[in-house]
Amino acid sequence: MKYSTKLSDALHILAFLSMGAGQRITSAKIAESVKTNPAYIRQLMAALKNAGLITSTQGQANAELTRNPDKITVLDVYRAVEGNKPLLHWDIDTNPECGVGIYVQLSIADFYQEIQEAAEQKMQTITLQAIIDQYYKKLEKLALESGQEIIS
Amino acid sequence: MKYSTKLSDALHILAFLSMGAGQRITSAKIAESVKTNPAYIRQLMAALKNAGLITSTQGQANAELTRNPDKITVLDVYRAVEGNKPLLHWDIDTNPECGVGIYVQLSIADFYQEIQEAAEQKMQTITLQAIIDQYYKKLEKLALESGQEIIS
DNA sequence: CCTACATGTTATTATAAAAATTACATGTTG
DNA sequence: CAACATGTAATTTTTATAATAACATGTAGG
């Protein structure tokens, strides 16, 4: 299949809303930045709204975060758009008549759960604010490098 | 797309080989347990062989582990069959003309790397032996429960 | 009030990464 | 040399996803 970019796109939306706070931001405007279509953006925004991360009203381009970006974690966004979908998938369709088949997979599933928890624990430490900070850091670095090029 | 079950299936293969050590195990036999076809099993085994986790010779059903199951980690197997494929995917196709587009995604990528490392660190602590132990634990529990049912 | 434009939502289609399958070359063993 | 095994490449099918289309609903300005 295609790889899911829901989490990435949802974070993109939130960063966009946060950095453009005060302005009237339409789903069309966000779609332009993500290079996709407005309907897909609205679908993700519906999930974010449902999870209580943003507010919005029908007919108005007034979506905004419900709390500060440093109070929104990557895990919050993951839950909002991916729910309980795991990062790793065990093989649900092994041979039930072969005892090894199903029980090996169930054993693997137990350990996948541990890996999932480790990943989610890390997700919980990363905030939207951190992503925005990193973004500005990249912009500054870029500006600096362009400057040097001009000087040299 | 479909979800990848390569890691799960590769672990299945290794557990099968380990538990059936000494016996002549064919790709057809493993395929029966995983409920798939021998060619797919052989493709995964080629990756495992390439990573130095198993040995095998063409024409002979003599595949075996190159080291003890407690020296093979989930990360070893992940690298063997998934290479450097990440668990999370950032949106590589955002609008390059929109500065926000690409730099937000690159910032997200930085943090995805941290999540990846947390997951891989955990993968490194889980051995094939642990999975096999868990498997036998499940079998014992099952046997015990069946026994109780017979008594009651 | 009505037009332009926004969100909200559902249904359908297209895309792409995966497993499944086919085919056959190559190697081994009795 | 027959039966059967691995090794490997090419093709087809499957399926989770994004893309798209369509339209109901809501808002606001003229």
Q: DSSP letters of chain A?
A: -PPP-HHHHHHHHHHHHHHTTTS---HHHHHHHHTS-HHHHHHHHHHHHHTTSEEEETTEEEEEESS-GGG-BHHHHHHHHHTT--SS---S-S-TTSHHHHHHHHHHHHHHHHHHHHHHHHHTT-BHHHHHHHHHHHHHHHHHHHHHHHH-
> Nearest CA to the C1' of D20 belongs to which residue?
A37
Q: Indicate the DSSP class of residue B127.
A: B
Q: Report whether pLDDT(A152) > 50.
A: no
Q: What was the pLDDT predicted at B102?
A: 85
Q: Which amino acid is at A134?
A: Q
d(CA B144, CA A151): 78
Q: What was the pLDDT predicted at B150?
A: 47
Residues near B148 by beta carbon (within 8 Å), at least 6 away in sequence: none
Q: Please tell me if residue A64 touches chain B, with a CB cutoff of 8 Å.
A: no
* Residue A27 CB lies within 7 Å of the nucleic strand C: yes
Chain B residues touching A35 at Cβ < 8 A:
93-95, 101
Q: What is the mean pLDDT of residues A107-116?
A: 98
Tally the domains of chain B.
1
Q: Report whether pLDDT(A98) > 70.
A: no
Q: What was the pLDDT predicted at B22?
A: 83
Chain B residues touching A134 at Cβ < 8 A:
107, 110-111
Q: Which one of B33, B90, B118 has the shortest CB-CB distance to A5?
A: B90
- Cβ separation A3–B89 shorter than 8 A: yes
* pLDDT band at residue A150 under the 50/70/90 scheme: very low
Q: Which helix (H) or strand (E) holds B99?
A: helix B99-123
- Cβ separation B87–A89 shorter than 8 A: no
Q: Report whether pLDDT(A95) > 50.
A: yes
d(CA A121, CA A109): 18
Give the percent of chain A with pLDDT over 70: 92
Nucleotides of C under 7 A from a protein CB: 5-11, 15-23, 26-29
* pLDDT band at residue A94 under the 50/70/90 scheme: confident
Q: B119: exposed, middle or buried (C-beta count within 10 Å: 0-12, 13-18, 19+)?
A: buried
d(CA A115, CA A39): 34
Q: What was the pLDDT predicted at A141?
A: 83
Does some domain include residue A24? Answer: yes
Q: Please tell me if residue A5 touches chain B, with a CB cutoff of 8 Å.
A: yes
Q: What was the pLDDT predicted at B118?
A: 98
d(CA A85, CA A83): 6
CA of B85 to C1' of C15 (A): 20
Q: Please tell me if residue B18 touches chain A, with a CB cutoff of 8 Å.
A: no
* Residue B90, helix vs strand vs coil: coil
Does some domain include residue A127? Answer: yes
* pLDDT band at residue A19 under the 50/70/90 scheme: very high
Q: What is the mean pLDDT of residues A109-137?
A: 97
Does some domain include residue B51? Answer: yes
Nearest to A102 by CA among B29, B83, B8, B91: B8
Q: Which amino acid is at A120?
A: E
Q: What was the pLDDT predicted at A100?
A: 64
Does some domain include residue A132? Answer: yes
CA of A14 to C1' of D30 (A): 34
Does some domain include residue A141? Answer: yes
Rounded to the nearest 10 degrees, how much is the dihedral formed by the CA atoms of B106, B111, B115, B121?
100
Does some domain include residue A152? Answer: no
Nearest-by-CA chain A residue for B126: A111
Q: What was the pLDDT predicted at A143?
A: 80
Does some domain include residue A10? Answer: yes
Does some domain include residue A151? Answer: no
Q: Report whether pLDDT(A151) > 60.
A: no
Q: Please tell me if residue B23 touches chain A, with a CB cutoff of 8 Å.
A: no
Q: What was the pLDDT predicted at B144?
A: 81
Q: Please tell me if residue B75 touches chain A, with a CB cutoff of 8 Å.
A: no
Per-residue pLDDT for chain B (152 aa), expressed as one digit of tens each? 799 999 999 999 999 999 998 899 999 999 999 999 999 999 999 999 999 999 999 999 999 999 999 999 999 999 999 999 999 999 887 876 666 668 999 999 999 999 999 999 999 999 999 999 999 999 988 888 776 554 44
Angle among Cα A141, A142, A145 to the nearest 5 degrees reads 85
- Cβ separation A122–B118 shorter than 8 A: yes
Q: Which has the minimum average pLDDT: A70-79, A140-149, B10-19, B35-44?
A: A140-149
Q: Please tell me if residue A89 touches chain B, with a CB cutoff of 8 Å.
A: yes
Domain that holds residue A64: 6-146
Q: What is the CATH number of the domain that holds B138?
A: 1.10.10.10
Q: Which amino acid is at B68?
A: N
Q: Report whether pLDDT(A105) > 80.
A: yes
Chain A residues 83 to 142 whose Cβ lies within 7 Å of strand C are 93
